[in-house]
A and B are shown apart, each in its own frame.
Chain A
Amino acid sequence: MFGDLPILSIITFLPVAGIVILLFIDSKKNSLINTVATATGFVTFILSVPLFFAYQENTGGYQFVEKYKWLESFGISFHVGMDGISLLLVLLTTMLSLIAIISSYTAITSRYKEYMITLLLLQVGMTGVFLAMDLFLFYIFWEIILIPMYLLIGVWGGKERVYASIKFFLYTLTGSTMMLIAIIYMAYMVKAQTGTISFDFIDIFKLKIDPSIQVILFLAFALGFAIKVPLFPFHTWLPDAHTEAPTAGSVILAGVLLKMGTYGFLRFNIPLFPDATVQLAPYMMWLSIIGIIYGALMAMIQPDVKKLVAYSSVSHLGFVMLGIFALNEEGLTGGILQMINHGISTGMLFLLVGMIYERTHTRMIEDYGGIAKAVPVFATFMMIASLSSIGLPGMNGFIGEILIMTGAFLSRPVYGILAASGVILAAVYMLWMYQRVMFGPMKHAKNSNLKDLNFREVAILIPLVALIMWIGVYPQALTVKYQKSVKDLMQLKSSRISSTADSIKN
């Protein structure tokens, strides 16, 4: 379909072109900046859509692979490719980035040009993370994201933005430093085993690693990823970052950034350290379950809508992790689907909260009450997003959660049972919040003049609603795309378990 076109590089670096153009634009010309930024996001998104159809799900594996020489003497190359899992995540990234750009037209009032540049830079990093097939390249993209995100929170954030941004930065940096050490260690391991140093996935996946070292490496990687997810108890940066970030920042953060953590677990921890994975999976699952319930309980008592949604993310990402570490096909399929679902549903929730914040400049639940009467369209969308978030059958969240819980249950019934209790709590905090915000008599007279959503806002929500319904009714459309990848992953995992066991015996 694409012939020799380096489509993945184009998708990754197209936003850079947008950034370059933006640099030459007068920062007062907001509408021109809008046009350029939106066009960049839009073209990138449009270019990424055909990938969905071009990806051969029956062949599986990495497709559209590109490899260029880079730092040859260190075994580093620019190597990108896409499998079923990254396919969906890249599409999610390009879509949410575009939505984030459009959602910011009126929300951001200062340093508009720089803001758009930051968003586009963020997109480069995120796309790169999901496409990299070289550990060093992966790490670079991983770290690139930190800077624009830091700026996004720290410059365009709320009252406590400096605290939140520094907390975010230090938390994530701590994790990724551990990961960097492990990455370098593994590159040298390749050298020890084959003679040439290499950061390439293909070489690293052939490594034979002693189980005891696997555990250490697993933990080093896991720390980096777990903070990003965030897995309990590394979650406290999330509520602050989410609350303080501007709307688009929250959308990107919840929609894509958190997925980088779970993606990392899928891509590296499970296939690279299979023995450690099997050994540590119960702990990871317990942490996930604690996260599910803990996040839900914390969400329940938040007086701040955005913080509530942030804690609900902790709960949902707990589900994703639970599915992944159930280490069976149901769990993995559900976990991956739930990554996409969470991006859509929670992304939508943050968008909605942002839209109402723009009108009232408050995020406190008690400042609302009864506004459904003033903003019926908003209330409808909020209802859909909330229901999707609590996993109502017929919507996307249900499919992911039922698969995850089945997977967990098959792994060990108690996991499934505890996870299912999270479903009740989700209904409690979400509907309680909804009721306090939307229903009842109008609590504050000034809210009765609220303007309902305008055309632009509805236009960016409609695609999300369509996706919510589509995935809920016909999840097969997405799951077939990565079914082979999940099977490959499990195959790789089990084959490496036996091979390491053999090598130790010998």
Chain B
Amino acid sequence: MNFSEYAWLIVFSPFIGFLINGLVGRKFSEKTIGLIGSLASTLSFVISVLIFFQYSALSQKAPIQIDLFKWIVAGGINVSIGYQIDSLSLVMVLVVTGVGSLIHFYSIGYMHGEKGFARYFAYLNLFMFSMLNLVLGNNILLMFLGWEGVGLCSYLLIGYYYETDYAPTAGKKAFIVNRIGDFGFLIGIFLIIQNFGTLNFTELSTVVAKGTSVGNDTIFWITLMLFVGATGKSAQIPLYVWLPDAMAGPTPVSALIHAATMVTSGVYMIARLSFLYVLAPETMAIVAFVGGATALFAATIGTQQNDIKKVLAYSTVSQLGFMFMAVGVGAFTAGIFHLVTHAFFKALLFLGSGSIIYALHHEQDMRNMGGLRKKLPVTFFTFLMGTLAIAGTPFFSGFFSKDEILWKVFNYSSLLFWMGALAAMLTSFYMFRLVFMTFFGEMRYHEHGGHHVHESPAVMTVPLIILAVLSVFGGFMGIPHVLDVFHVGNYFEHFLSSSVKDSLPIVFGTKEEWGTMSLSVIIAIIGFTIAYVIYLKKKYVPGDDSTIKGYKKVIYNKYYVDEMYERTVISGTIRISKTVYEYFDKLVIDGIVNGVGKSIRRIGEGIRGTQTGLVRDYMLTMIIGVSIMLVYVLVNKFMMIRL
């Protein structure tokens, strides 16, 4: 049986779940809704696993195409709704459906008792559908459908608590900032249509492989514009501002959309189009340095946040920076590898924070936590595993992937390497800061109203445990060469090689690889130590917002970037629009139109006096006129006779 024939079911199974829950879900019990949503997602996962085993057994790993029907055909555009299975999309599908299914199950517990339970699961399934279109689509336009679709679901889910003020605002901000990125993406699409005449990935790579006559400048612009799209979706400088706000959504949503899957789609897109990106080294450099800068910048903000989810949000932005750094230097495999391990440990961390928030009845401020280690043992243990993984503790998953990136980056530029290394140190610092502030020290949370802090139900802790296992051992799929004592090889790189190959030349030897590896371990320890001293030894707890002063205040307020955007772009546009409306639309255009009308009226009023409204007067005028004409005719007659 050839499972790949059922690949469309991967995509449409969540869609069916969406339709059921969206249309009639309100009539079902929570259990039914949750099961429909989760099973729809799990079905996709099962099929992907089956396809994965079949596909990895193939010796020739050519992409499998499943064209469903023609979508848009006009002139130079000819795209179908069609899916492509190759090693890259399989990796992504496995991550999306696997982590996604876990989060679906987790949500059954987390969202218990919320209004709009069915709505939540419908959106979640719709998200899965869009995300799977994004990663499985065999052409850029279908990818774009998924790309905007996940943006929509992100909007809907961030604004899930629509009766509040902040949640819908955050959702709207996310959508609009993403749209700004999509503007670039669209232009990239146009340029590809114009220059290559096809949007299909396979055809495109064939054209490029054959040697294309398209100029380097054009390819630079294509790749750069697509990257602009990626900065929006994957929250890179300068379009990262929406992601921290996006934490207004329910925590499982943050885990699924804003950590594990959607935000990584920019990285996936660059890997998918790597054959184009390698032709544009300038873009690659931009990607790498934007990634590096974001990694460092976001990490600094992360060190001063007090909202547990905000810390994780900036951490996500920072880790995404790492991924872009990797793909930017040409280490596509390392980027995707980090994407996978990050999906494990960041989903774990978010779900863990969700478990805390759930236990503390929606308290998110770490200043009001502390000492939760005893109360939430499972959450604490799994969270610790996630922290160790992200901090880069040797042999945890994050260690392998981050180390791989730093090593590859070192081969490209030492400046970038140091930026990455510093960011890694800050990562270790803020993560342990988070752990110490929430799980250690005294309990600062006041239990009230008979609610006691207790561990979450199994439907939530089991996904945590599974993700913890993956976070710990997930790294062994991609063992670096120097550590490969049993010569099992880098399975991950090998598997991906059929669709993505690194373009980065390795210039340094084993000695330097050991060097960077040890350095990253040392860095992690430094970060841990600082956090240990400040937050565990000295038991420092940041004061109220008003007491934060100096550079800390600047960082705490995210360098005032949001305020700057608000003052310039947003209010600027509105002010210009208002001025134009008042002075151009109303005064000039309407002025001309009404002016013409008015002047005609004034002329009319002027000659109105002759119109008495009395028929008699009109008749008199008529008779006078007729008489004049008669006289004229008669006079003419007489003149004729005389002559």
Contact = CB atoms under 8 A, between A and B. Distances in A.
Direct contact of A and B (CB under 8 A): yes
B395 interface: no
Nearest to A440: B165
Given A236-B590, A330-B75, A403-B72, A435 B168 contact: yes
A274 interface: no
Nearest to B144: A393
Interface string A153-179: 000000000000001001100000000
Q: Which of B69, B74, B144, B180 has the most CB of A within 10 A?
A: B74
Contacts of A171: 593
B69 A474 contact: yes
A354 B118 CA distance: 29
A428 interface: yes
Contact of B75 (A294, A333, A441, A473): A333
A399 B145 CA distance: 10
A427 B175 contact: yes
A60 interface: no
A476 B77 CA distance: 12
A476 B593 contact: no
Interface stretch (A69-77, A81-89, A357-365, A417-425): A417-425
Contact of B193 (A236, A301, A406): A406
A252 B89 CA distance: 46
A276 B144 CA distance: 37
A345 to B, nearest CB: 16
B145 A394 contact: yes
B176 A427 contact: yes
Nearest to A424: B179
A432 interface: yes
A301 B581 contact: yes
Contacts of A268: none
Contacts of A237: 593
Contacts of A139: none
A359 B589 CA distance: 34
Interface string B167-203: 1110010011001101100110111011000000000
Interface in A388-403: 392-394, 398-399, 402-403
Q: Which of B71, B187, B577 has the most CB of A within 10 A?
A: B577
Interface string A197-211: 000000000000000
Interface in A444-485: 473-476, 479, 483
A170 B190 contact: no
Interface string B122-162: 00000000000000000001001101110010010001001
A417 B194 CA distance: 13
B179 A440 contact: no
Contacts of A180: none
A479 B75 CA distance: 12
B67 interface: no
B75 A329 contact: yes
Nearest to A426: B179
A423 B186 contact: yes
A333 B74 contact: yes
Q: Which of B145, B148, B182 has the most CB of A within 10 A?
A: B148
A416 interface: yes
A233 B69 CA distance: 42
B164 interface: yes
Given A406-B193, A424-B180, A424-B183, A298 B581 contact: yes
B175 A475 contact: no
B145 A439 contact: no
Given A393-B148, A441-B163, A475-B71, A297 B175 contact: no
A403 B186 contact: no
Given A410-B194, A420-B186, A167 B175 contact: no
Interface string B62-89: 0000000111111111000100000000
B574 interface: yes
A375 B550 CA distance: 48
A235 B72 CA distance: 32
A329 B165 CA distance: 46
A382 interface: no
Contacts of B186: 402, 405, 420, 423
B621 interface: no
A334 B75 CA distance: 10
Contact of B187 (A235, A416, A438, A442): A416
B476 to A, nearest CB: 38
Interface residues of A, number: 56
A387 interface: yes
A334 B194 contact: no
A48 B193 CA distance: 37
A406 B192 CA distance: 10
Contacts of B168: 435, 438-440
A294 B580 contact: yes
Interface string A310-336: 000000000000000000111001100
Contacts of A125: none
Contact of B573 (A297, A373, A393, A420): A297
B562 interface: no
A392 B77 contact: no
A428 B176 contact: yes
Contacts of B577: 297-298, 300-301
B587 to A, nearest CB: 11
A407 B72 CA distance: 13
A368 to B, nearest CB: 13
B581 A423 contact: no
Contacts of B194: 409-410, 413
A439 B578 CA distance: 24
Contact of B589 (A236, A297, A330, A420): A236
B585 interface: yes
Interface string B488-515: 0000000000000000000000000000
Q: Which of A235, A237, A420, A479 has the most CB of B within 10 A?
A: A420
A207 B189 CA distance: 41
A479 B73 contact: yes
Contacts of A423: 179, 182-183, 186
A407 B69 contact: no
Nearest to B184: A420
Given A392-B148, A423-B182, A440-B164, A328 B75 contact: yes
A25 to B, nearest CB: 38
B613 interface: no
Interface string B336-357: 0000000000000000000000
A431 interface: yes
A172 to B, nearest CB: 12
A427 B69 CA distance: 29
A128 interface: no
A372 interface: yes
Contacts of A261: none
Contacts of B141: 393, 402
B604 interface: no
B576 interface: yes
Contacts of B155: 431
B74 A479 contact: yes
Given A406-B193, A479-B73, A440 B152 contact: no
A347 interface: no
A370 interface: yes
Contacts of B211: none
A300 B193 contact: no
B487 to A, nearest CB: 47
28 contacts: A167-B593, A170-B597, A236-B585, A329-B76, A330-B76, A392-B149, A392-B152, A402-B77, A402-B189, A409-B190, A409-B193, A410-B75, A410-B190, A413-B191, A413-B194, A416-B187, A420-B183, A423-B182, A424-B179, A428-B176, A435-B168, A439-B168, A440-B163, A440-B168, A474-B71, A476-B70, A476-B71, A479-B74
Given A297-B580, A392-B149, A475-B71, 12 more contacts: A171-B593, A236-B589, A236-B593, A297-B576, A330-B75, A394-B148, A399-B72, A402-B189, A427-B179, A438-B162, A440-B164, A474-B69
Q: Which 3 A-B pairs have the closest CB atoms?
A: A329-B75, A439-B168, A393-B145
